[in-house]
Structure 1
Amino acid sequence: MTERTVAPSKTAEEGIFSRKYAAATATFAAVMFLTGFAALAVVPTLPAAAQGLDGVSLYPLVAGSFVAASLLGGVLGGSWADRAGASRPLAAGVALSVATLLISATSTTIWQLAAGRFLDGVSAGMVAVAINTAIAHDYPDRLRPRALSLMSTCWIIPSLAGPPLAGLVSAWWSWRAVFFGLAALTLLPALAVVVVLRGRTRQARAVPSQDKPPRPALMVALAVSLGAALAQYGVSGWGARQLLCAAGGFALLVAFAPRLLPSGTWSAARGLPATVLLRGLSSGAFFTLEAFVPLFLSTVRHVPAAVTGLAFTGAAVAWAASSWVQGHLLDHWPRHRLVVVGSVILAAAVAIAAAGTLPTMPALTAASALVVAAVGMGLVAPALTLLSLSHSRPGLQGQASSAMQTNQNLGQITIMALSSALFAGLGTGSSGPAGYAAAFGLLLVPSVLAALLAVRARGS
């Protein structure tokens, strides 16, 4: 793949919705819509579910199970997609997502709810990696940016409708109704997707892979997922149990995570290793900002939850719009330059959030940082995905997508943990802005590093 995409020719197969790609595009869009709706609608329901199951003390474990399990799902889905085509793990992930909603809905203990969220993370990891791999296999270079921007657009309606509807159902009925409703809502579309993908799988079997990768080390993937879950629970407090879990979790990550990443990732070796590292840096900065800004607005500035929700909605729209721009208006730009621009915008958003902690600044200054950061990520995320595919050998795109997914989650866990430790270590808690300013300031480091190292991910 060359770094600059070729201008599309005026043919019947020009767009992602042309006759040749219409079925695949519609299938992938449907899967992303269902995945996004379920993922976003569940989030505001989890606190009520934990309280109803008398498991508030284990809420960090429930909340962290999804991210931890997506590490395992990404590894399984990537290897499976390379060995047998992307349709199989994609169909399996969609079917599993319905089952996990039913497991969560029927929870009688907090541990069953955590298990449901863990399996949901596995399915989400498989789906995300399988779709990226399918786009790499099925679409020409010039259409990949547009396909990836469409996948981002499919999250707009779920981000607008999912959380408010789930909140109303949970308040007026019960949190179980949210899970049951999502399972019923996604069952028939999921079955249709599975049928379509089975047909594509049978067609793919006629072209065996020339260079199949080895099967993933399942014990390594499980160890990394366990380490991620322990680390996320451990940073929730300063008790002996939390400190022990944090130490054990990070020890597992240090020991096993490098085996799931390309050699040279931590040293930003040129090509795929640097691309994988950049995914972790940018995602860690963005999602940590996304976690701390609402907490700051609620505890320090006492901003109504509805206003904070509007900031999240604006961020979702900004991400999709920025992704559309990179796929349609900036498709001739070298991808690594888009990473530079997006990382600089992300750093600016972090600076805005830090400035928003000053008493003299308006309360909504920090809220606007979410929208600005989403603009940056709308450029960075699809650009890095395209770069990872350009650096992958034919038949191994699933392995590259898996590494990207793995380091994205590792970046979130690590940077969130460092910011949380700094926030708690200042001793200000939620009573003052100093801890938030320090947590936001730390996020400048990964944002600036991503901008400086982007040239090392440059395409051939």
Structure 2
Amino acid sequence: MTAPKTLDAPYQPPRIFGPEYRTATFGILLVVTLIAFEGMSVSTVMPLVSKDLDALDLYGVSFSAFLIAGLLANVVAGLWSDRRGHAVPFVLGVVLFAAGMGLAGAAVSKELFIVARAVQGLGGGAVIVAIYVMIARVYVPEVRPRVFAALSSAWVLPALIGPGLSGLIAEQIGWRWVFYGIVPLVVPALVMLLPALRGGEETRPEPATGPRSRPLAMTLAAFATACGAGVLLYGVDRLHGTPVPGAVASVAGLLVMAVGLSRLLPPGALKFGRGLPTTVLMRGMLAAGFFGVNAFIPLLLTKVNGFSVGEAGIALTIGALGWTTGSYLQTRWSGDRPLLVRIGAAAVAAGILLTLPAALWGVTGWITVPAWVIAGFGMGVGTTSVNVTAMRQSPDAEQGANSAALQVVDTLGSALTIGFGGALVNLIGHDDIAAGYTSIVAMTAAVALLGVAVAGRMRDAS
């Protein structure tokens, strides 16, 4: 008599902290945590940096220099990852990032500080693209939403202690030690991650042969995009003092940037083509809305509401917690991802608008705390869903190019709105920060609402 047949156990996807993925997951999270400390800390201490280096006129440029340099690194790292693997751009990126932090701490002029921020951007841009390629090649599709959620969770500790700790260090010791303090963290992070860098390299697909796989053409396009964006922001920043040269530089920069960008993104992206083209652009619109305000909240709270630097950092802290919550909740979602992105964009727009009363006389600046929880929640829901959708829509041989495209539009969206915001502070709010902040809110909320309108085009044409 034979034993009764039993049904096979249902498939259970591996756990991201299980034996198969543990090393890669811890390595990735460690480096993302390092980058998160930089992001949360620098935003908090920038009012002190601008005061000490007499750089209020370059407040937005210091952020944009980081982002535009990162744009160039995004493309180069994506190309290298597709053709040679992600290990080299990852390691080189971490080293450059640490070097930039050291240079920023040692800066004795605003020009040197901006150069240091650009070096940080080169490193950070390479690292993030390499991480996305690693996720696509190491993890099976079923667990990728959890990995991206874990990346957002890596911001929790920096969000909880980064702004407050950096504010305390800046006030008690000096803002330079906020930068110096991150540098030693690079060594253990890099040592722990080296074994994980080999993961996925043995399964690297054959390189793609399309127009976005040509190293020289793509590098030139990235250089044109970065230079065009830089010239555009320079021109916009000069509109308040020398309007005619500023306008000429702005138009020239916009044209050069558009030509380069058309080569970096999936075909049809600039026309919001259905599927992957719009998916990639949604990442940029979410970033433009959120970070275009995020960079100026500490300035508003310290200059208008009388907050200390440490107190101003609390709003950024709570926003990051909202981001983590949204990112976790999207792992429970099994429905339409474009709908989830639309919800995220709407939450970002709502959070931006809800910060506006803080610019009014007699209204407490603490209103930015619940507002930034809502905006952060929208980013957690939206950006993670964009990342998951983009990896699903990407052919294996184009994972590096599309990971780079995601970072390019993220970087460009953030750089442009922060740069335009800095120009608005100079043009409108140099003597009235509240008025300048109000104009920034109007600009970024419009971008987020555009994202709400076009999110449905993320669905494939079929």
TM-score, normalization by structure 1: 0.86
Deviation per CA, 1:399-458: give whole Å up to 9, x if none. 111111111222223344556666766x56553855544432333322222122111102
8 Å contact from structure 2 (residues 163, 316) kept in 1: no
What residue is the counterpart of 2:316 in the other structure?
312
The answer for the alignment partner of 2:393 in structure 1 is 391
Give the direction of change, closer, same or farther, for the CA distance of 1:443–1:110 in structure 2 (3 Å limit): closer
User: Is 209-218 or 380-389 further displaced after alignment?
Assistant: 209-218
Between the aligned partners of 1:111 and 1:156, the Cα distance in structure 2 is 32
Tell me how far 1:247 sits from its aligned partner: 4.7
Pairwise CA distance, 1:128? 1.1
Deviation readout 1:315-338 (Å, 9 max, x if unpaired): 0111011101112x22x1221111
CA deviation vs aligned residue, 1:126-182 (integer Å, no higher than 9, x gap): 111111121112212221111000001101111222333333334443444433332
The equivalences for 1:165-244 within 5 A come to 165-193=165-193, 195-197=194-196, 199-200=198-199, 204-205=201-202, 209=206, 211=208, 213-215=213-215, 217-236=218-237, 238-240=240-242
In structure 2, what residue type is equivalent to 1:340?
Answer: R
Q: Where does 1:281-300 land on structure 2 (aligned, <5 Å)?
A: 281-300=285-304
Change (3 A) 1:393 1:372: same
Partner SS state of residue 269, structure 2: coil
Range 160-169 or range 266-275, more displaced: 160-169
Question: How far, CA to CA, are the matches of 1:406 and 1:357 in structure 2?
Answer: 32
Deviation for aligned residue 1:252: 3.0
1:452 aligns with 2:449: no
Q: Note the alpha carbon deviations across 1:303-350, whole angstroms, 9 max, x for none.
A: 4544432211110111011101112x22x1221111111122222223
Kindly report which structure 2 residues correspond to 1:363-402, keeping only aligned pairs within 5 A, or say none: 363-402=365-404
Equivalent AA in structure 2 for residue 225 of structure 1: A
Residue identity opposite 1:191 in structure 2: V
Distance, in Å, in 2 between the alignment partners of 1:37 and 1:432 is 27
Given candidates 270, 273, 278, the residue that maps to 1:274 is: 278
Distance 2:129 2:330 in 1: 21
Matches within 5 A, 1:39-78: 39-45=39-45, 48=48, 58=58, 60-78=60-78
Would you say the 8 A contact 2:288–2:414 is kept in 1?
yes
Equivalent position SS for 1:266: helix
Q: CA deviation at 1:275?
A: 1.0
CA contact (8 A) 2:65 2:117 kept: yes
In the TM superposition, what is the alpha-carbon distance from 1:224 to its structure 2 partner? Answer: 2.1
Aligned AA for 1:457?
A: M
Change (3 A) 1:24 1:231: same
1:406 to 390, 408, 413: 408
Deviations 1:273-329 (A, max 9, x none): 1112212222111112223444443444444544432211110111011101112x2
Q: Which deviates more from structure 2 when the two are superposed, residues 362-371 or residues 240-249?
A: 240-249
Counterpart check, 1:24 vs 2:24: yes
Bigger shift: 278-287 or 44-53?
A: 44-53
Amino acid paired to 2:189: P
Question: Against the structure 1 CA distance between its residues 242 and 367, is the aligned structure 2 distance closer, same or farther, given a 3 Å change threshold?
Answer: farther
- Among candidates 260, 263, 267, match of residue 263 of structure 1: 267
Say if 1:430 and 1:371 are closer, same or farther in 2 by CA, change over 3 A.
farther
Identity of aligned residues (%): 28
Q: Cα gap change, 1:204/1:422 in structure 2, threshold over 3 Å: closer, same or farther?
A: closer
Distance 1:345 1:177, change over 3 A: closer
Q: How does 1:1-12 map to 2 (within 5 A)?
A: 9=10, 11=12
Q: Does 1:442 align with 2:439?
A: no
Q: More deviation in 316-325 or 402-411?
A: 402-411
Distance in 2, matches of 1:245 and 1:159, equals 38
CA distance in 2 between counterparts of 1:204 and 1:455 reads 35
- Read off the aligned partner of 2:294 and give its amino acid letter: E
In structure 1, how many angstroms separate the alpha carbons of the residues matched to 2:68 and 2:148?
24
SS at match of 2:214: coil
* Distance in structure 2 (CA, Å) of the matches to 1:20 and 1:166: 36
For 2:423 and 2:105, the matched residues in 1 are separated by 34
Please give the alpha-carbon distance, in whole angstroms, between the structure 2 residues aligned to 1:438 and 1:70.
Answer: 27
Amino acid in the other structure paired with 2:225: V
1:96-131, CA deviations, whole angstroms, 9 ceiling, x for partnerless residues?
Answer: 222333333444554443322212101111111111
Q: CA RMSD in A?
A: 3.1
Cα distance 1:355–1:103, how it changes in 2: closer, same or farther (>3 A)?
Answer: closer
- Deviation string 1:201-248 (CA, Å, 9 cap, x unpaired) is xx7257552536322532332232233334444444512276665455
Residues 191/42 of structure 1: CA separation in 2 closer, same or farther (3 Å cut): farther
C-alpha offsets along residues 352-371 of structure 1, whole Å, 9 cap, x if unaligned? 23455555865433443222
Query: Do 2:83 and 2:207's aligned partners in 1 also have CA atoms closer than 8 Å?
Result: no
1:126 aligns with 2:113: no
SS at 2:215 equivalent: coil
**Is the contact made by 2:129 and 2:400 (CA closer than 8 Å) also made in structure 1?**
yes
TM-score (norm 2): 0.85
Task: Check conservation: 2:64, 2:416, Cα contact below 8 A.
Answer: no
User: Given the superposition, is the C-alpha separation of residues 14 and 423 from structure 1 closer, same or farther in structure 2, using an over 3 Å criterion?
Assistant: same
- Paired letter, 2:265: L
- Letter of the 2:383 partner, please give it: A
Alignment of 1:299-338 (within 5 A): 299-327=303-331, 329-330=332-333, 332-338=334-340
State the shift of 1:41 in Å.
2.9
| In structure 1, distance between residues paired with 2:184 and 2:293 | 34
Q: 1:423 to 1:323 in 2, by over 3 A?
A: same
Match status 1:345 vs 2:320: no
The residue identity in structure 1 corresponding to 2:343 is V
1:259-279, CA deviations, whole angstroms, 9 ceiling, x for partnerless residues?
Answer: 212221121100111112212
Distance 1:443 1:183, change over 3 A: closer
